[in-house]
């Protein structure tokens, strides 16, 4: 299959043009058609000579994502399902302002972007990990989610969180290529500070990303303050236990000036004891990190439950009393299976692409 134009950097398009004997300024025009005018076909690039459009079509497909479904919710969170060229599915969630979570102004929109089809890390509570790993998304499929979300909603996306399906740091090369397109002046031109990568804790990749020159934010899916608790729910912790993870985060802090975020899903009877809260508070203080508490979103086929709101608040109070900035996430999109991976799981199960997940608990 031909490579996607939406996955090419301006430099790559320029070198294609050079080899094809075309003038260099065409690269800027092509970028503008793709990323600013958001065309849906190469033929729609009407200021390019017909011969150049034909040449482009011989070597590339445009690579726009095929949108198959939007699931809306009353709080205007919308979830988009896209079918990929190999008939797999991937999803993105457009979330209206959530100042409690991102500390942003109230008119901001955040897009939750997927980085892989499925996920190999198999966290016990997560829909994305349930059916295992299928494949990495390529740069056009990652950046294309932003392009399509803007097209479909008619709105500008202000913030990106790589918290959709997949483990972004397990697909770091493609992720960084996509980030080049997302932040590039000639493409989507979003500030790196508005991008947050979430990871379950791939220590070597955290260290590698710490060397990246852009000020991208990092969030860690911690979900347990000790190896005991983390080992029960996140197999990744067996490879990189808590102490190694925190060493890598210290290193991150030494290279970056953005505050780290520790994400902590509250699952009843699993990781929600107030002792865990106290240990979490100590870690967060040491790292100067803020904490996002997220009451667990139920996943079809899994028995985990969220604690009572009063208990979530008690957990939050332990952190606050220790001087840690801790937000309890306001509910957005619970009614549309907003825990990423769920919509795709339903679709692929219905189509018989994957088998219905087996209960893990």
Q: Applying CB under 6 A, does 296 fall inside the site for ligand SAH?
A: yes
Instruction: Give the separation between CA 48 and CA 314, rounded to whole angstroms.
Output: 62
Select from ligand SF4, ligand SAH, none the partner in contact with residue 202, using the beta carbon and a kind-dependent cut-off of 5 to 8 Å.
none
Nearest to 124 by CA among 15, 229, 54, 280: 229
Question: Between residues 135 and 186, which has the closer beta carbon with respect to ligand SAH?
Answer: 135
- Residues in binding contact with ligand SF4, number by CB under 6 A: 11
Select from ligand SAH, ligand SF4, none the partner in contact with residue 265, using the beta carbon and a kind-dependent cut-off of 5 to 8 Å.
ligand SAH
Q: Active site includes 340?
A: yes
Judged by CB under 6 A, the residue of 96, 122, 184, 357 near ligand SF4 is: 122
**What are the angstrom distances between the C-alpha of 25 and each of 17, 22, 41, 52, 333?**
9, 9, 20, 13, 44
Give DSSP secondary structure letters for 221-275: E---SSHHHHHHH-THHHHS-HHHHHHHHHHHHHH--SPPEEEEEE-TTTT--HH
Which residue has its beta carbon closest to ligand SF4?
129
Instruction: Give the separation between CA 344 and CA 92, rounded to whole angstroms.
Output: 10
Choices 24-32, 35-43, 198-206, 272-280 (CB under 6 A): range interacting with ligand SAH: 198-206
Nearest to 270 by CA among 226, 236, 313, 240: 226
Query: Which helix (H) or strand (E) is 129 found in, with range?
Result: helix 127-130
Is there a contact between 249 and 210 (Cβ–Cβ < 8 Å)?
no
Judged by CB under 6 A, the residue of 128, 134, 140, 159 near ligand SF4 is: 128
Instruction: Give the separation between CA 297 and CA 275, rounded to whole angstroms.
Output: 23
Instruction: Determine the length of the chain.
Output: 361
Tokens of 354: 């994957």
Minimum CB distance to ligand SF4, residue 300 (Å): 15
Choices 22-30, 122-130, 153-161, 343-351 (CB under 6 A): range interacting with ligand SF4: 122-130
Q: Active site includes 91?
A: yes
Judged by CB under 6 A, the residue of 16, 35, 121, 304 near ligand SF4 is: 121
Judged by CB under 6 A, the residue of 62, 81, 163, 336 near ligand SAH is: 163
Question: Between residues 183 and 200, which has the closer beta carbon with respect to ligand SAH?
Answer: 200
Q: Applying CB under 6 A, does 294 fall inside the site for ligand SAH?
A: yes
Residues 166-205 close enough to bind ligand SF4 by CB under 6 A? 166-167, 200
Judged by CB under 6 A, the residue of 221, 237, 261, 276 near ligand SAH is: 221
Question: Between residues 98 and 200, which has the closer beta carbon with respect to ligand SF4?
Answer: 200
Q: Which residues, listed in sequence order, are joined to residue 161 by a DSSP beta bridge?
A: 112, 196
Q: Applying CB under 6 A, does 136 fall inside the site for ligand SF4?
A: no
**What are the angstrom distances between the C-alpha of 69 and each of 17, 25, 79, 80, 335?**
36, 37, 8, 6, 16
Query: Which helix (H) or strand (E) is 39 found in, with range?
Result: none
Minimum CB distance to ligand SAH, residue 207 (Å): 17
Tokens of 16: 């294609």
Select from ligand SF4, ligand SAH, none the partner in contact with residue 294, using the beta carbon and a kind-dependent cut-off of 5 to 8 Å.
ligand SAH
Catalytic residue among 91, 141, 263, 348: 91
Q: Applying CB under 6 A, does 265 fall inside the site for ligand SAH?
A: yes
Q: Applying CB under 6 A, does 299 fall inside the site for ligand SAH?
A: yes
**Site for ligand SF4, rule CB under 6 A:** 119, 121-123, 126, 128-129, 166-167, 200, 221
- Annotated catalytic residues are 91, 340
């Amino acid at each position: 299959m031909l490579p996607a134009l939406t996955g090419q950097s301006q430099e790559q398009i320029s070198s294609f043009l050079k080899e094809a004997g075309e003038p260099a300024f065409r690269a800027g025009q092509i970028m503008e058609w793709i990323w600013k005018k958001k065309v849906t076909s190469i033929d729609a690039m009407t200021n390019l000579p017909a011969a150049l459009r034909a040449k482009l079509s011989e070597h590339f497909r445009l690579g726009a994502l095929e949108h198959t479904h939007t699931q809306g919710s009353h709080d205007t969170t919308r979830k988009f399902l896209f079918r990929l060229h190999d008939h797999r599915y991937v999803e993105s969630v457009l979330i209206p302002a959530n100042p409690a979570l991102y500390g942003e102004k109230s008119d901001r929109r955040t897009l939750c972007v997927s980085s892989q089809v499925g996920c190999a890390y198999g966290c016990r509570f997560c829909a994305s990990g349930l059916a295992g790993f299928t494949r990495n998304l390529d740069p056009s499929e990652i950046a294309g989610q932003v392009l399509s979300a803007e097209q479909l909603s008619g709105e500008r996306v202000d913030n990106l969180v790589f918290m959709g399906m997949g483990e972004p740091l397990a697909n770091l090369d493609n992720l960084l290529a996509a980030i080049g397109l997302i932040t590039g002046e000639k493409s989507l031109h979003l500030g790196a500070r508005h991008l947050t990568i979430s990871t379950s804790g791939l220590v070597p990749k955290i260290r590698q990303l710490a060397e990246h020159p852009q000020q991208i934010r990092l969030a860690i899916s911690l979900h347990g303050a000790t190896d005991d608790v983390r080992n029960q729910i996140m197999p990744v912790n067996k490879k990189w236990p808590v102490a190694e993870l925190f060493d890598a985060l210290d290193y991150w802090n030494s290279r970056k000036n953005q505050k780290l975020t520790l994400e902590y899903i509250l699952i009843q009877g699993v990781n929600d004891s107030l002792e865990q809260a106290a240990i979490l508070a100590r870690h967060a203080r040491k790292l100067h990190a803020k904490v996002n508490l997220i009451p667990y979103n139920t996943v079809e086929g899994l028995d985990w439950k969220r604690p009572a709101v009063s208990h979530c608040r008690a957990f939050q109070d332990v952190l606050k009393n220790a001087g840690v900035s801790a937000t309890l996430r306001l509910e957005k999109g619970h009614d549309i299976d907003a825990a990423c991976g769920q919509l795709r799981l339903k679709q692929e199960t219905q189509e018989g692409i994957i088998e219905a997940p087996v209960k893990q608990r």
